[in-house]
Structure 1
Amino acid sequence: MRVAALIVAAGRGRRALQSAGTAAPSDSGADETPKQYRQIGGAPMLSHAIKAFSAHEAVTDVLVVIHEGDQERYDGIAAGLEGALDKLRPAVVGGSHRQDSVRSGLEALAADAPDQVLIHDAARPFVDAALIQRVVESLKTTMGALPCLPVTDTLKRSKNGIVTETVDRAGLWRAQTPQGFRFQDILDAHRAAVGLSMNFTDDASIAEWYGLPVAQVEGSEANQKVTTNEDFVLAEARLTGTTRLDGLRVGSGYDVHAFGDGDAVVLGGVSIPHDKALSGHSDADVVLHALTDALLGAIGDGDIGMHFPPSDAQWAGADSAVFITEALRRVTERGGRVINADVTILCEAPKIGPHRDAMRSRIAELLGVTLDRIGVKATTQEGLGAIGRGEGIAAMATVTISLM
């Protein structure tokens, strides 16, 4: 019985280079190494999957599907894989979509076809021998085998940012790889699916469409997919037993503005009715100004005054969201993403409590993170100093970013 492992490593992994909601840079100085070639535990992520399948006694062949521009990167990995070379076939070039890449790999294997094939994503470096064995064992009695884990979180459906219903999670499972099949069956299914407009997100979905029964086998919580920069930090910690503190940066910011004439203040992107307004060249939002400085400080890129000087007329009355957006772009260019932000507002009035959640929501939206990663607090100065006398408002901000 010959069992081939087909490892798909032809993607670009763009999400690992960006923060949520932002585009990955194409001409920046950020490290744009595709994620499968980035280091985890002192070795490229792809190498971990190759070693796992090569070391398994049931696996007779290992074939990796790569991007057309990655041959040199791949050759560097393969040359250092002692003990894996006997099973490792020459890599083949994939296509523009995962489905095309898998089919390219299957066609390459067809010249000397195995009995079974295990199709695995290179972004899952923690596949272990026990999981591989469960899939192989299942294929003795089934045409397809899919490792799954139960969905344990409550599921919601939303529209335009508003939750519309709770989805029943009974019978729902999270699919993993490797997904195993009898070789000729899955090759025939992929060939039949060429040219269809259907969105096949994995090989089990192609098998289902083709009419191949796919059995469920027990997955592994350890077999997590590495997608974002934060995933890389966690993966590094798991493999080395330490936290990659060198990939974490902390920045702080402070801003203060005096009161002037007006009927509202803008704090954290939220307009709050008040008998005065804050005086400044832009909208004088001390919260977003402090956050901007914190973002810039985390990457050592100057301050808000350097990038948005008050002497420049274009910033007169500007919405401070533009400052946050530009600072976040600079973070993203360096391969960073925001982990969390915390703000303290110093003022006697207005009351911050009623507007706290609105500010948190707006800041979370601007930074591309979930609400639970944003803190907004307020305190008075107990009548001390200019803030205590009600002459203005100040804000302090701290931001943590992952910079890989």
Structure 2
Amino acid sequence: MKRRLDETWAVLLAAGSSTRLRDAGGGVRKQYIEYKGVPLFWHSARTLSRIAAMKGVVFVFPEADLKHMRRTVKDLFKTDDLGLRFEVVAGGERRQDSVRHGLEALPRECDAVLVHDSARPFASASMIQSLVEALEDGAQGVVPAIEVSDTIKRVDGGAVSETLVRSELRAVQTPQAFVTDILRRAHERAEAEGWDVTDDASMVERLAEVRIVPGEAANIKITTPGDLEALKQPRTLVPCTGWGYDVHRYGGERPMVLGGVPIAGAPQIKAHSDGDVLLHALMDAILGCFGGGDIGRHFPDTDPRWDGADSSILLREVLVLAEKAGVRIVHADLTVIAQVPRLAPHADQIARNLGRLLALDPHQVNFKATTEEKLGFTGEKKGIKAVACVTALREI
């Protein structure tokens, strides 16, 4: 039976000591190593923010770093607003202690939680979305898992005692997703009964079934000095450009939303989905970067599933397609054309939200609004239109 999740949060673990990596990282803990201009943990936070259901993140850092990291996270949100609520708390001696501290910081209404290691910066939004969907489909807990390629043997001292059946084995990754209540109860039992585990699923397995979804080979954990090479891996990239255009008529039943931002007092829109003309143009531009057709092909207005659909969720689907095609968006330039409403007061908020949805920095997103000097259907206040130009790099 489908479960409605109203408040999904993540606990992002960045409280490890990084003993094996500190020398290779110049004495810096691995979660703080700079990668593409920001600390490693911030890459996971960005990816989590691209999940439509995600409402907030609890960052867990070493207690000794807490004061400094509270300032750091606030500064990061000022320059790269993820559109999420957040808390910053101190970790504990063990990983499970750090998770427990993170759970204590969650709001009371949080009904689902993802626990993720910041040392796994390459987890994709599409994989994380599959975890959320598994919870919505009724799972109490769900983990990403990949098949084991090596033969695994149980040993006793210096001798093999058993060869395990490889087809029955999986290597699990993070994020791991749970109904919040079951994870809290598992941690309470662990404290009361002295459990010592290496991941949260190991606790929840004792109380409820934990399901799996396909993990990703690229979702590696930065653990040893050799793993740092993954942060330097060269890729062959070619530039590509996509262009999008969309129009909506006024006089409908949908409140105006532009770039995921509600526009109070604006004319209502006639549309099958939520009528976000800006995100519709943006999606077509993204699809154009890899020959993906248009949104009419992917989300036809004859399909009742898209009746009133949130366009930010549709954008997430398009971004998954782009990700699978090896496309990385690097810039978006968007313009709304309308005589009414006046959009200047909303421009900054729209630009910030577009940046969050696309996981881009502010300088990579440009939003403009203009009129057509009372000419044409927009000038006659009959409707609104938008154009978008997206620049991307595609792996070959």
TM-score interval for Structure 1 and Structure 2 normalised by the shorter chain: 0.5 to 0.7
The answer to whether structure 1 residue 48 and structure 2 residue 46 are counterparts is no
Say which SS state the counterpart of residue 11 (structure 2) adopts.
strand
Counterpart among 180, 199, 213 of residue 196 in structure 2: 199
Counterpart of 1:5 in structure 2 is 10
Counterpart of 1:173 in structure 2 is 170
Counterpart of 1:15 in structure 2 is 20
Which consecutive unaligned segments of at least 5 residues does structure 1 have?
20-29, 242-404
Cα displacement (A) at 1:85: 4.8
CA RMSD of aligned residues (A): 2.4
Report the identity percentage. 37
1:127-166 aligned within 5 A: 127-140=123-136, 141-158=138-155, 166=163
Cα displacement (A) at 1:168: 2.5
Instruction: Return the letter of the residue paired with 1:102.
Output: V
Say which SS state the counterpart of residue 20 (structure 2) adopts.
helix
Whose Rg is larger? 1
Say which SS state the counterpart of residue 63 (structure 2) adopts.
coil
The change in CA–CA distance for 1:198 and 1:90 in structure 2 (over 3 A counts) is closer
The answer to whether structure 1 residue 61 and structure 2 residue 59 are counterparts is no
The answer to whether structure 1 residue 227 and structure 2 residue 232 are counterparts is no
Counterpart of 2:389 in structure 1 is none
Whether the 8 Å CA contact 1:44–1:77 is kept in 2: the answer is no
Q: Which runs of 4+ in 1 moved over 6 A?
A: none
CA distance in 2, matches of 1:101, 1:240: 39
Whether the 8 Å CA contact 1:4–1:61 is kept in 2: the answer is yes
Counterpart of 2:210 in structure 1 is 214
Say which SS state the counterpart of residue 139 (structure 2) adopts.
coil
The change in CA–CA distance for 1:159 and 1:193 in structure 2 (over 3 A counts) is closer
Deviations 1:143-177 (A, max 9, x none): 11111001111224456666666433121000111
The answer to whether structure 1 residue 32 and structure 2 residue 23 are counterparts is no
CA distance in 2, matches of 1:83, 1:42: 12
Stretch deviating more after TM superposition (44-53 or 188-197): 188-197
1:1-400 aligned within 5 A: 1-17=6-22, 31-71=26-66, 72-73=68-69, 75-81=71-77, 82-109=79-106, 111-140=107-136, 141-158=138-155, 166-209=163-206, 211-237=207-233
Cα displacement (A) at 1:236: 2.6
Instruction: Return the letter of the residue paired with 2:173.
Output: Q
CA distance in 2, matches of 1:238, 1:190: 41
Whether the 8 Å CA contact 2:151–2:164 is kept in 1: the answer is yes
Counterpart of 1:276 in structure 2 is none
Instruction: Return the letter of the residue paired with 1:36.
Output: Q
Stretch deviating more after TM superposition (55-64 or 98-107): 55-64
Deviations 1:355-389 (A, max 9, x none): xxxxxxxxxxxxxxxxxxxxxxxxxxxxxxxxxxx
Cα displacement (A) at 1:76: 2.1
Cα displacement (A) at 1:84: 3.5
Whether the 8 Å CA contact 2:186–2:203 is kept in 1: the answer is yes
The total of aligned residue pairs comes to: 229
The change in CA–CA distance for 1:33 and 1:18 in structure 2 (over 3 A counts) is closer
Whether the 8 Å CA contact 1:41–1:239 is kept in 2: the answer is no
Whether the 8 Å CA contact 1:65–1:91 is kept in 2: the answer is yes
Instruction: Return the letter of the residue paired with 2:124.
Output: D
Say which SS state the counterpart of residue 221 (structure 1) adopts.
coil
Whether the 8 Å CA contact 1:41–1:240 is kept in 2: the answer is no
Deviations 1:42-91 (A, max 9, x none): 32111111111122212111111111112214532441244445314120
Which consecutive unaligned segments of at least 5 residues does structure 2 have?
1-5, 238-396
Q: TM-score, normalised by structure 2?
A: 0.54
CA distance in 1, matches of 2:234, 2:109: 36
Instruction: Return the letter of the residue paired with 2:148.
Output: V
Cα displacement (A) at 1:128: 1.2
CA distance in 2, matches of 1:5, 1:104: 13
Cα displacement (A) at 1:99: 0.7
Instruction: Return the letter of the residue paired with 1:171.
Output: E
Q: TM-score, normalised by structure 1?
A: 0.53
Whether the 8 Å CA contact 2:11–2:58 is kept in 1: the answer is yes
